[in-house]
Every structure is written in C-alpha cells, then in structure tokens.
Amino acid sequence: MSITADRVSTVAAGFDAAMLSKDFPALNQLVHGKPLVYLDNAATSQKPQSVIDAITRFYQEDCSNIHRGVHLLSERATNAYEEARLAVQQFIHAASHAEVIFVRGATEAINLVAQSYGRTQVQPGDAVLVSAMEHHSNIVPWQMLCEEKGAKVRVIPMNDRGELVLEEYEKLLTPETKLVAVAHVSNALGTVNPVRRIIRMAHERGIPVLVDGAQAVPHLQVDVQDLDCDFYVFSGHKMYGPTGIGVLYGKQRLLEAMPPYQGGGDMISSVTFEKTTYNSLPHKFEAGTPDISGVIGLGAAIEYLTRVGLDNVAVHEHDLLVYATEQITRLPGVRVIGTAKEKAAVLSFVLDGIHPHDVGTILDQEGIAVRTGHHCAQPVMQFFGIPATTRASFALYNTETEVDTLMRGIKTVQEMFA
Amino acid sequence: MMPESRDVRDLYQDMILEHSKRPENFYRLPDANRKAEGFNPLCGDHFTIFLKFDNDTVTDISFEGSGCAISKASASMMTARLKGKSKSEAQQLFAQFQRLVTNQTNKADDETALGKLVVFSGVCEFPVRVKCAILAWHAMMSALDQTSAAVSTE
C-alpha cells in the first residue's frame, strides 16, 4: 500500500468506480446546484441500495424480535440476524461465530473491553498503551479506566510523517503494561500501522492487543487470526453499512473469562432473584433487543463489499490516493499532513493562511463534501502544531474526475483568499 | 432550511476577507484590566479578548488568537466598533449582532446601529458558521462581566 511505489494497477477488468457509484442513491444528487462529490467517507460512507433494501425488507416482511418467538417471522428474523454474524465471521476470518459480538459501533466495542476486560485486568500502577494517532474513542475509555484504577495511559510516539516509532514502542512494553490499544488505520492521517508486528512484539511479552479497525475494514482485507490480535473492533457505517451497528471481535478464551458488560434479556440462561446464570458467547455480551435491522444491513454491506471485492477496492483506492497526492503536491501553499509510507484512503492537508473551516465551506459550495476540524484526534493536531485540517477521504465509488474537481475547488479557495 | 441560492460570496464579503488578512487591534493590550477567552473546541478557534474598562467605558480593546476568516474578521471589526462604548452600549450591540447572524434582525433599527457590521448578514445562511461569527462577541461579554479589577497579562 505504499503511496510512493509505482505499482501496476491490478484492479479487475470489470471494476468501474463510476458505475459502482450508481449503486449508491445518495450520491446521485446536486448540492448547491453542483453534482455531489462525496469525499467524507472516513466519517461515514454512503450506503448501496442493497443495504437500504435489506433494512426495508426486514421492517416490511420479517419484523419481529429474535431468539425468542416460536412464530415464523421471529424465525426468519433470527436466521437473518445469525446469518449476518456468520458473514462477519467470514469477513474478518474469525475462528468462531461466538467471537463476533454485535455492538453499537467501534466506540462501544472499546468501552466494552475497557469496562469488562480492563476493570478485571488493570490494577493500580499498571499501564494501558495507546498510540499518538488514536481517535478519541481509543483514548478516553482507557483514561476513564485508568483514572478509576489508579493506572496510567502511556503513548507510543510517532514521527513527522505520522508513523509509529517502534523502537520507542518496544521500550514501553514493560511489565506494568496490561494492554496495547492501537488503530489499524489512522482516521486523521491515513497511516496504516504495522499491527501484525505491533501485536507480535506485545505477545512476546504476554501483553494482549486491541486493534481499532474502524478505518481499516472498508479498505483492506482483515484476518484476525493471521494478525493474532486479541480484540478487533469496527463500525458498520464506515463500510457501507448502517449507523448504530458495529462489531467486537475477541478471542474466545478472553471473552469467556470476561464478565458481562451490561445485564438484561438475551444475555442470560436463567434468572432467579437469588442467582442469574449468564448465557454463552456471543449472547453474554448482547443484552436487550439488539439493532436487528442494523445487523441485517451490515450483513448486506459485507455481501456488497465481497461482491465488488475488497482487493479491487484496495487497489482502486490506492491508485486514487497516489493520484490525489501527486495532484495536491503540485499546488502551491499546500501541506499534506500524514505522509507515511503506508497509507489508506485519507488525504489530510492544510492551506497556507487559510483556516480549514473556510476551505470546507467554500468546497461545499462547489458540491464537494470534505471533513474539516480535528477529526476527533486532537493530540494529532497538537503534534503537528495545527488547529485542524481539511480531510478528503476516499471510497470505492470515488473517481479521478472527482479528485480533479477537488483540486479545482482548492484553487478557487486559494484565489478567494489571495 | 437554507436557501438553494445562497452564494459563498455573501459570506466571504471583501470587507470580511480584508479584516481576516489584516485584522485591527490584533495584539495583547499591555494595560488591560479584563480579559476572557473564547474557545470553540469543535473547530479549534481560540481567541483572547483584552479590555481596558474604566468609568463604564471600553477605553481600549484588543484580541489575540487564531481561527477561521469569519471568526477573526468578526473579532477585528468588533474591537474597532466597541472602542469608547459603555457597557450597556456594548451589550446592546452584542444583542443586535446576534440577531443579525441568526436572521432575527429587526432591520430598521438593528442595521442602522450595526453599521459596517452588517457585512456579517450572510452568515445566517450558513448555520454551521454562526458560532464562528459570534465567538469573539461571547468572549467580550464574558470579559465585560468580570468583577475583578485586574487580570494577569502574563
């Protein structure tokens, strides 16, 4: 995934981003009279018609609660829900469906691990290791845990390109470190971290690793067994699925030993006022009626991504990032933030003398949707000494023509502020 | 709902661009006796307003900090406008400016009083930018309400 290496494109002959964009109804609209150029995919991606249809079909035909009813609708809903779990298992190559826990999103998954695993494993004086490029969602839950436990959060530093410094990381793998929590792909910089190596180094010292894969799953193949990560978390809505649904993957051995995160229905096998016996995995961590339509929508998103082919997506987005990086580097007064050798789908930049919020407003007027701000990664902004960036982030349906539109938009901004 | 026909030039009028590039009163007032910070954590805009307030009069006012063109121009034009004003005059201008950028202006009265500040009238068509335009004003109000006679200019 090097953005500097020349690589022969190996996108399958049938792959056509412009054609695929027709699968996404929201992309087909005018914004301020201009065709929408949607480049805010790292915040959330658009949804293909097949995902929207799957959710609608559930409510129109199968709407009922799962795991309890003996009637036909409940049977159909339960089957669809559990089939989606199997789809997730295959998608991330988990060893068992029992290791796939449905949650609201990556944020809830991290909080679950912090509150369940963390509270039983982290003691006063211990440390949790995060990286300098984490999203707030992979910082704050650990700070809350460490504050409660009298433990501390330590930070793996990064260099000026936005790459983690592994020599420093190694020094932080001390006996008091009880967990490493690190992003697979940085949302603010696009850096693809060498998580396999990070995990191996931690495991050599018996330290488990949680990987925040929210920005990775839409862009690259993930194999949790090959990575050997202990926990892997992601959200559905950044990978063409609905909002409000996400996944916690955990190694069965760890999940078995963890106490429940929330109590309620579905997570029990029997309840008396004296004693409750908890349900088996994965249900132990899914208290209450879950987001059934969300799970079914996520299943449809996985089906869509699989049909298009994640390898094709990865190559296409890589080509697009290389092209966009080349184009933007030619413009005067632009500084790209995040120049790691390994990057995925994110182009973060600042323009000399122009605040990102002004850039975002003017680009919006041109129909171009980008994200401006600190991207829920304020420590990253502090590291680079900037208040915010403008971020263009790509998905499988974006094209070089859209990158050209972005470049014209940036020139318009620069002219206005000249 | 925002109108389809809004033009970004309504927001970025020449006077606003000019003030954002060359702001007035953009320094730390050495003999300020009141100051307050305005911080918008969502976008990172961060300004400090310095006031010299004696005998119910803003005898001098300045600001420092960083932010988008709208927030910076607003701070610049606000300081230019408030010099020599009493506390109640400043409060009244705040209310009028707030009505302007949230499109609740009583045109006849407010626009006369606001003078040049009406260049910010386009902001109301960009709801997410209202907080940028009003940030320095909130900080100014907070500084005005301070009871302590002296602040550190450390």
Angle of helix A310-330 relative to helix A400-416, nearest 10 degrees? 30
Residue showing tokens 């995934």:
A1
Residue A38 lies in a domain: no
Tokens of A84: 């989606």
Query: Does A344 share its domain with A203?
Result: no
Query: Does A207 share its domain with A278?
Result: yes
- Tell if the CB–CB gap between B67 and A372 is shorter than 8 Å: no
Task: Find the domain containing A405 and state its range.
Answer: 17-31+309-416
- Tell if the CB–CB gap between A357 and B46 is shorter than 8 Å: no
Query: Does A90 share its domain with A163?
Result: yes
Residue A354 lies in a domain: yes
| Among the ranges given (A201-210, B22-31, B40-49, B100-109), the one the predictor scored with the smallest mean pLDDT | B100-109
Query: What's the length of chain B?
Result: 154
Query: Does A290 share its domain with A372?
Result: no
Contact A151, A126 (CB under 8 A): yes
The b-or-e profile of A261-299 (16+ CB within 10 A means b, else e) is beeeebbbeeeeeeeeebbebbbbbbbeebbbbbbbbbb
- Which residue in chain A is spatially nearest to B5 when comparing CA positions? A32
| Residue A1, pLDDT score | 45
Type of residue numbered A25: P
Per-residue pLDDT band at B5 (split at 50, 70, 90): low
For chain B, the structural domain boundaries read 8-144
Contact B64, B48 (CB under 8 A): yes
Mean pLDDT, to the nearest integer, of B12-38?
A: 94
pLDDT at B111 > cutoff 60: yes
Taking contacts as CB-CB distances below 8 angstroms, the residues of chain B near A337 are: none
Query: Does A282 share its domain with A325?
Result: no
CA dihedral defined by A295, A299, A302, A303, rounded to 10 degrees?
Answer: -160
Picking from B7, B8, B132 by the largest number of A CB atoms within 10 A of its own CB, the best residue to mutate is B8
Catalytic residues of A: 376
Could you give the percent of chain B with pLDDT greater than 90? 70
- Tell if the CB–CB gap between B17 and A417 is shorter than 8 Å: yes
Quick check: helix, strand or coil at residue A316?
Answer: helix
- Quick: pLDDT tens for B60-70: 999 999 999 99
Query: Does A325 share its domain with A248?
Result: no
Instruction: Give the domain-ending residue among A258, A287, A306.
Output: A306
Per-residue pLDDT band at B6 (split at 50, 70, 90): confident
ipTM for the whole complex: 0.86
Tokens of A324: 């966009």
Query: Does A300 share its domain with A244?
Result: yes
Per-residue pLDDT band at B112 (split at 50, 70, 90): confident
The CATH code of the domain that includes A231 is 3.40.640.10
- Tell if the CB–CB gap between A354 and B70 is shorter than 8 Å: no
Residue A297 lies in a domain: yes
Residue A9 lies in a domain: no
Measured distance CA(A232)–CA(A223) in Å, rounded: 10
Residue A379 lies in a domain: yes
Quick check: helix, strand or coil at residue A150?
Answer: coil
Instruction: Give the domain-ending residue among A264, A289, A306.
Output: A306
What's the structural domain count of chain A? 2
- Tell if the CB–CB gap between B69 and A374 is shorter than 8 Å: no
Q: Mean pLDDT of successive 10-residue segments in chain A (418 residues)?
A: 48 84 98 97 98 98 91 95 98 98 98 98 98 97 98 98 98 98 98 98 98 98 98 98 98 97 90 91 95 98 97 96 98 97 97 95 97 91 92 98 98 94
Residue A47 lies in a domain: no
Whether A355 contacts chain B with CB within 8 A: yes
Instruction: Give the domain-ending residue among A258, A285, A306.
Output: A306
Query: Does A203 share its domain with A338?
Result: no
Per-residue pLDDT band at B1 (split at 50, 70, 90): very low
Taking contacts as CB-CB distances below 8 angstroms, the residues of chain A near B42 are: 373
The CATH code of the domain that includes A341 is 3.90.1150.10
- Please state which CATH class domain B8-144 belongs to: alpha beta
